[in-house]
Amino acid sequence: MLKAVQEEHGRLRADVGNLDKENKELKAENAKFAEENMQLFAKVGDLEKRALEGNDQIDELNQEKALTKLAVDDLLDRLISIDTLVEKQ
């Protein structure tokens, strides 16, 4: 009986050793994943910032486009007026 208990104790100690080793490996892997996660989070933040800057640039370009269209429409109206005056003379 004592021998069986000692054998079981030996197996349990080996299991504990294996579990301890596995635990250390998993902790190291977890630390690696945590670092990668932080790097990815920073990259996502940078991408979001650049996307917002891009949206601001698009808004600015749309405003410039609208002003250019107004200027072109005004010039077209003036050309039509000049053309009408020339035709009358």
Question: Could you say which residues of the chain have pLDDT below 70?
Answer: none
SS (H, E, C) 10-70: HHHHHHHHHHHHHHHHHHHHHHHHHHHHHHHHHHHHHHHHHHHHHHHHHHHHHHHHHHHHH
Cβ neighbors of 51 (< 8 A, separation 6 or more) are none
pTM: 0.57
Tell me the residue length of the chain: 89
